[in-house]
């Protein structure tokens, strides 16, 4: 469990929320297509932007516990079973990485801003049932227990997102924006169990499992002697980075209203990633098994045969056999999200807000995994000079711990930006391992100025 959490934390979900209220951040229109930076820009790989974020409701110190100057796991005998009360029913880890290939934006007329972007996006997600952890800690116990492991889910996808957006002032208060997107799917895999239950007691174990794998990839593999996928046979050298296995389309819609009833109060609303994605399903595999163990009979005879049969029954639950009849395309909704915000400029100097405070909300309308993510963020943005801005924020996701972030933007002929967002202020001694929260975000990049600043 600890290894899985640490490996997933190295990856990343969509980065950049610390820049939400900073108009000097060139990619700000990704939050809301009506947002536009102060001036045009050009960004090229590999300097343009690298962004990653991991979001999880897992608190590491629930599973990795400091004790007498060293660390022990939840499964250690010295840790009482009462610690299991801290384990959630569904333990989620979601991540995303963004690598900019080429992006540019420019103004036409007084207020119309155009932007184009091509970027690689990688996502992965894991849902670990709490009963799986409880079962590992408690074993069978003294009475019969039913463990529900059906929420077990692991998935990932890789796409290239190409987008074209435009925003324009309708009048001195209202600005609207629209962006269209084409998503070129490179690979996707999703493993989930429709049913996975274990009834455990001192007298008998009964386990039933029914799982499926859906994948869209050009990886080649072989089957073992049982007709199931041989996981060791996957040829990762056969993966073609340029052969598409999916296509998708989406739109972003946004609006900004300035001086709402009072001067320097700006409201914004956006709905992003409304659309569909269709994957060419190159692999559909099914696993189904039943194990019924009441103890070994005739222990003075041949126990080996009974043991081998039990192992065979358990292994059957993870033997995924391809089913060619269930191929075809797999169509799904994109992970649409809603963003709303209010920002108030406290001090104004040289036609800009020297200091402003803002409150924003972000929530997914649907998600690839069973993860309902909603977040409130309070931020302050300081602009002491025309070439520098600094933002600090505190975010509170629903059912997730607090996190805080800091971002800086340096404007000029070359625009440099960097941001970090962390959720843990407590680290294990000597190991530098976060204990409170796995939420981590980091991004940096460099763009070149195009044209003059917007008046």
Better-predicted residue by pLDDT, 385 or 70: 385
| pLDDT class of 431 with cuts at 50, 70, 90 | low
At 55 the pLDDT is: 75
Residues spanned by the domain of 269:
2-145+152-192+215-226+244-277+330-450
Residue 41 is assigned to a structural domain of this protein? yes
Cα dist from 140 to 72, 76, 146, 287, 344, whole Å = 22, 17, 10, 25, 58
Q: Is the pLDDT of residue 60 over 90?
A: no
- Which residues are within 8 A (CB) of 299 and not within 5 positions of it... i.e. 6 or more apart? none
Better-predicted residue by pLDDT, 383 or 316: 383
Lowest mean pLDDT among 12-21, 111-120, 248-257, 313-322: 12-21
At 425 the pLDDT is: 58
At 436 the pLDDT is: 62
At 207 the pLDDT is: 83
Tell me if 436 sits within 8 A of 426, measured CB to CB: yes
Q: Is the pLDDT of residue 168 over 50?
A: yes
Better-predicted residue by pLDDT, 342 or 3: 342
Better-predicted residue by pLDDT, 129 or 455: 129
At 3 the pLDDT is: 36
Residue 371 is assigned to a structural domain of this protein? yes
At 418 the pLDDT is: 93
Residue 250 is assigned to a structural domain of this protein? yes
At 250 the pLDDT is: 95
Residue 34 is assigned to a structural domain of this protein? yes
Residue 254 is assigned to a structural domain of this protein? yes
- Please give the mean pLDDT across all residues of the chain: 81
Model's pTM, two decimal places? 0.79
Instruction: Identify the residue whose tokens are 């801005």.
Output: 389
- 24-39 residue pLDDT tens: 899 999 999 999 988 8
Better-predicted residue by pLDDT, 343 or 150: 343
Residue 177 is assigned to a structural domain of this protein? yes
CATH code for the domain in which residue 251 is found = 2.40.160.40
Residue 316 is assigned to a structural domain of this protein? no
Kindly state the average pLDDT of the residues 146-163: 87
Lowest mean pLDDT among 160-174, 176-190, 441-455: 441-455
| pLDDT class of 249 with cuts at 50, 70, 90 | very high
Q: Is the pLDDT of residue 335 over 70?
A: yes
| pLDDT class of 7 with cuts at 50, 70, 90 | very low
Residue 370 is assigned to a structural domain of this protein? yes
Kindly state the average pLDDT of the residues 252-261: 93
Instruction: Identify the residue whose tokens are 């239950």.
Output: 197
| Total number of domains constituting the chain | 1
Cα-Cα-Cα-Cα dihedral sign, residues 103, 107, 108, 113: positive
At 14 the pLDDT is: 45
């Amino acid at each position: 469990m600890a290894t899985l959490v640490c490996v997933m934390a190295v990856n990343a979900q969509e980065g950049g929320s610390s820049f939400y209220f900073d108009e000097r951040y060139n990619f700000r229109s990704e939050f809301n297509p009506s947002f536009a930076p102060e001036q045009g820009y050009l960004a090229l790989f590999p300097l343009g932007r690298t962004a990653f974020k991991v979001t999880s409701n897992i608190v590491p110190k629930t599973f990795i516990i400091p004790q007498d100057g060293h660390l022990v796991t939840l499964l250690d005998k010295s840790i009482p079973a009462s610690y299991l009360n801290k384990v959630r029913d569904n333990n989620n880890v979601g991540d995303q990485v963004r690598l900019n290939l080429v992006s540019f934006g420019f103004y036409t007329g007084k207020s119309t801003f155009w932007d184009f972007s091509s970027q690689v996006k990688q996502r992965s997600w894991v849902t670990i049932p709490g009963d799986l952890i409880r079962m590992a800690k408690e074993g069978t116990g003294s009475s019969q227990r039913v463990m529900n492991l059906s929420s077990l889910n692991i998935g990932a996808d890789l796409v290239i997102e190409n987008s074209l957006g435009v925003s324009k002032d309708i009048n001195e208060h209202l600005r609207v924006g629209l962006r269209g997107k084409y998503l070129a799917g490179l690979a996707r895999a999703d493993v989930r169990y429709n049913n996975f239950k274990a009834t455990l007691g001192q007298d008998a174990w009964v386990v039933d499992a029914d799982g499926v794998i859906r994948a869209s990839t050009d990886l080649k593999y072989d089957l073992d002697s049982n007709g199931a996928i041989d996981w060791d046979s996957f040829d990762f050298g056969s993966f073609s980075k340029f052969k598409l296995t999916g296509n998708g389309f989406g739109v972003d819609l946004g609006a900004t209203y300035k001086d709402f009833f009072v001067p320097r109060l700006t409201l914004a609303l956006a709905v992003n990633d409304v659309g569909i994605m269709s994957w060419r399903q190159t692999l559909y595999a099914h696993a189904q098994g039943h194990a019924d163990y009441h103890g070994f009979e005739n222990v003075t005879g041949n126990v080996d045969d009974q043991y081998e049969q039990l192992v065979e029954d358990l292994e059957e639950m993870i033997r995924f056999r391809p089913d060619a009849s269930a191929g075809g395309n797999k169509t799904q909704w994109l992970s649409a999200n809603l963003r709303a915000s209010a920002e108030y400029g406290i001090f104004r100097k040289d036609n800009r807000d020297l200091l402003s405070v803002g409150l924003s909300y972000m929530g997914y309308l649907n998600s690839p995994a069973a993860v309902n993510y909603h977040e409130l963020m309070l931020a302050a943005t300081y602009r002491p000079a025309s070439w520098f801005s600094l933002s600090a924020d505190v975010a509170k996701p629903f059912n997730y711990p607090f996190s805080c972030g800091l971002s800086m933007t340096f404007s000029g002929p070359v625009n440099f930006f960097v941001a970090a967002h962390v959720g843990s202020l407590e680290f294990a001694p000597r190991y530098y391992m976060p204990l409170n929260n796995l939420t981590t975000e980091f991004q940096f990049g460099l763009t070149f100025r195009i044209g003059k600043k917007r008046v």
